[in-house]
Amino acid sequence: MIRRNGLDICLLGFLIFSAGCVPISKTIPISGSPDDLPGCYALFPSKPWESVHRIEATLRGGGSFSMVGVTKGEPSERQLQSLLLTAEGFILFDAERRNSRITVRKAVPPFDSPAFAKGLMEDVALLFLPPQAKPTSWRRDANGAMICNWEGPEDPHTEITGSTDSGWQILQRDKQGQVIKEVALSGPFVNGLASRMELRASKPASYRLRMTLVQPSP
Amino acid sequence: MKKFLFLSIFVTTGLLYGAAALCQDWTSLKEASRNIRSVQAEFLQKRYLRILTKPLLSQGKLFFYAPDSIRWEYLTPLRSVTLQKGETIQIYNFSDGVWKPEMAQAIESRRMVLAEISQWFQGRFDESKGFKHFYSPGPPARVVMVPGEGINRFVRRIEIVLSVRPGVIDRVEIEEPEGSRTSIEFRNVEINSNFSPHVFEKP
């Protein structure tokens, strides 16, 4: 009996770990009503905003650290400014993204590589800016949740599903259809900003960012 | 000519009187600070950044025991603690439910800052290695610390605003060259109260 229980636990463990490896199936919605289209943008702030987040970063291998993230956005200009600070308030990183051009104002080691700046600002854009083009397909399901797809020849494929009530999910896939970044946003939403966000990246680097909104404004 | 002579005597007398008063206050401050054995306080830090319309707020606690034991702890938005006991400095950050020690490189950069803070709480502003001090009797009395070459790349000026309670610091204002500034207000300050010495050893 004890052996049987042990076997069950092993099987359960195997199933849990296996579940983590199952690729997330691609949702292909049919084109929806034009009235539903604004729903694809509902998770992104539409007016100028600024925020302070507590960020807990976990890297592959188990290393983790915490920082304060300060972000300011101007959605109509597709402009973002992002700062990383220590608990004391020392600025480790300060960069701006205007359209797709990144300008680094300050970067202290180990945050001073161009690859870090590009990766960080891409993550910030994924969290706060919708893809620039119109979705290639969208629909609202029976529960009122939106399912939106952006699929272009150049950019990564982006899928957005959910609602402000149930929370949102953003998936970014490479050209082979594999998920490279996965974001979960949950409420309550304050001034259009999610209280909690979790970003899991698997390619090219594997890491997880957990962000808690501590100071929304204005 | 007489007029200028009178004016000159008036100004000189005034300056001498002012200097004597200033000297008196400075001596009182030093005297009061000499009696400080320990300080325990809460603090509210306001970080004014150009990017934010409202300051970034952080709250924490401070423990100091003369001459060189400090616990500087942030409670929000990040939990982080810097501990100094004599020559030993430790920094821990709370992440994923546990306290994690900071890298040695980060510790060394805090050594000078902690040495400065220790001196401020003992009224030893004139012993600073990196700053020149200027005392203004107020009210409120203030000590302005102006950094020397090198440090002035990071800090433009520090102003320490003193409480009417002798030897107690009310507020510290730190100005940076690019326009950002930080204000740290101390609250519920307890002087020479008793607390466990372990606060300087473990997070």
pLDDT at site B8:
44
Confidence of residue B104 (pLDDT cuts 50, 70, 90): low
A127 CB contacts (<8 Å, ≥6 apart)? Answer: A170, A183, A185, A197, A199, A211
The chain B residue lying nearest A208, using CA atoms, is B96
pLDDT at site B2:
41
A-interface mutation test, from B46, B56, B81, most A Cβ less than 10 A away? B56
A103: alpha, beta or left? (left if phi > 0; alpha if psi -120 to 50)? beta
Looking at per-residue confidence, does B184 or B116 come out higher?
B184
Looking at per-residue confidence, does B19 or B186 come out higher?
B186
Residue A8 has pLDDT above 50, yes or no: no
CA distance A108 to chain B (A): 12
Contact call for residues B104 and B111 (beta carbons, < 8 A): no
B72 CB contacts (<8 Å, ≥6 apart)? Answer: B60, B62, B81, B82, B114, B117
Residue B77 has pLDDT above 90, yes or no: yes
Q: Report residue A128 as tokens.
A: 């706060």
pLDDT at site A84:
96
Confidence of residue A145 (pLDDT cuts 50, 70, 90): very high
Residue A12 has pLDDT above 80, yes or no: no
* Cα gap A192→A163, rounded to integer Å: 12
Residue-wise pLDDT for B155-168, tens only, equals 899 999 998 887 78
CA distance A14 to chain B (A): 25
pLDDT at site B112:
80
B-interface mutation test, from A51, A55, A84, A88, most B Cβ less than 10 A away? A88
* Cα gap A66→A129, rounded to integer Å: 24
pLDDT at site A10:
37
- Interchain pair A89, B51: CB under 8 A: no
Contact call for residues B144 and B159 (beta carbons, < 8 A): yes
CA distance A65 to chain B (A): 6
Contact call for residues B145 and B136 (beta carbons, < 8 A): no
Q: What is the mean pLDDT of residues B140-145?
A: 91
3-state secondary structure of A136: coil
A-interface mutation test, from B95, B173, B183, most A Cβ less than 10 A away? B95
A85 in B contact zone (CB under 8 Å): yes
ipTM over 0.95: no
* Cα gap A130→A160, rounded to integer Å: 10
Residue-wise pLDDT for A85-97, tens only, equals 999 898 999 999 9
Q: What is the mean pLDDT of residues A191-217?
A: 91
Cα radius of gyration (chain B): 20
- Interchain pair A66, B182: CB under 8 A: no
Cα separations in angstroms, A89 against A17, A77, A172, B157: 39, 28, 32, 17
